[in-house]
Amino acid sequence: MKDSAVLLITCPDQKGLVAAVSGELYRFGANIIHADQHQDHVEGLFFMRVEWSLRGDGDQPFDIQAFSAAFAPIADRYAMKWHLHVSAVRPRVAIFVSQHLHCLADLLHRHQMGELDCEIPLIISNHTNGEPLVRFHNIPFHHVPLTAANKEEGEATQFALLEAARIDLIVLARYMQILSPEFVRRYPSGVINVHHSFLPAFIGARPYHAAYKRGVKLIGATSHYVTEELDDGPIIEQDVARISHRDQVEDLIAKGRDLERVVLSRAVAWHLDRRILRYGNKTVIFD
């Protein structure tokens, strides 16, 4: 739904929340097109996502600035953490990639087909083999080599590129480098990674090799927000594929590529659609 707004809310669970939100939207003449909510009874928390049309009644557009100002005291009354997003403001996404290009190719194709509602002003890689693919899609490609000796300098170059492009979200499409704590702190809940295992199993490098040695019967892939602890951020999406004793490591890798593409694209799409609320080390994903 284009020309819409989304309100995301997290607050202590209590009576009157739905009425307070829907009542204020009604007072401003909003036509609600989607609403969803969730309660975490253990934590005593309430989560809500509301989307409505900005076209308003007749020829009168919905006044988003006036609504935001009027909603602020309501949010304070209920101790809400809230975020208001307008669909016309498209997020600006940077993709980081290393040598494996299958996730990058999938994201670029989905973006070209209109499945990912965002701008992609640049792609950064510590290798050069992805440049022809990126150039084909008419997106600037930046090669930033990274080694243990020059990591601080390399990340400084990345920061400059990201700031110049006004990036809102960073997607690690099989980017095989560990981000520094400073990097993660600069983009809280703003970096999505895909890991080629069903976390929390087989963290770190070469998980398919570890899964093969363990003799597992399922392999998986996980998309998650990046935190300072490796492969431990809030999980957004996961999927699995069944394997057997006949599968070799190469078979696991091949089957895993499809899982990686799917879970990463779903996570990015849900983030762009403002369907995710993060709390602690968990996420709520609204339909």
Single out the residue in 86, 111, 130 at which a domain terminates.
86
- Asked whether residue 128 falls in the same domain as residue 71, the answer is no
Specify whether the CB–CB gap between 113 and 142 falls below 8 A: no
27 and 96 fall within a common domain: no
Helical segments of 78-180, H only: 102-112, 131-136, 151-164
CATH of the domain at 81: 3.30.70.260
Question: Does 82 lie in the same domain as 96?
Answer: no
Overall number of domains in the chain: 2
Torsion sign, CA atoms 146, 150, 152, 158: negative
- Cis-peptide, bond into residue 200, ω within 30° of zero: yes
CB 208 within 8 A of CB 215: no
113 and 197 belong to one structural domain: yes
Note the helical H segments in the chain. 17-27, 64-77, 102-112, 131-136, 151-164, 181-186, 207-214, 249-272
Residues 155 and 274 in one domain: yes
112 and 35 in one domain?
no
Among 86, 113, 136, the domain boundary falls at 86
Q: Are residues 115 and 256 in the same domain?
A: yes
Q: Which of 106, 168, 231, 247 is catalytic?
A: 231
Domain of residue 22: give its range. Answer: 4-86
Q: Is the distance from CB of 55 to CB of 61 less than 8 angstroms? A: yes
In which residue ranges of the chain is pLDDT below 70? 1, 56-59
Which of 86, 102, 124 corresponds to the end of one domain?
86
Measured over the CA atoms of residue 272, residue 157, residue 234 and residue 193, the dihedral's sign is positive
In a shared domain, residues 16 and 103: no
Q: What are the two backbone dihedrals, phi and then psi, of residue 37, each rounded to the nearest 5 degrees?
A: -150, 160
Answer yes or no: do 152 and 240 share one domain.
Answer: yes
Question: Residue 74 and residue 69: Cα distance in Å, rounded?
Answer: 10
Q: Are residues 74 and 137 in the same domain?
A: no
Q: CB neighbours (10 Å) of residue 242?
A: 10
> Is there a single domain that holds both residue 124 and residue 241?
yes
| CATH number of the domain that residue 280 is part of | 3.40.50.170
Q: Is 231 a catalytic residue?
A: yes
Looking at the fold, whether 161 and 251 belong to one and the same domain comes out as yes
Instruction: Report the pLDDT value the prediction gives residue 55, as an integer from 0 to 100.
Output: 80
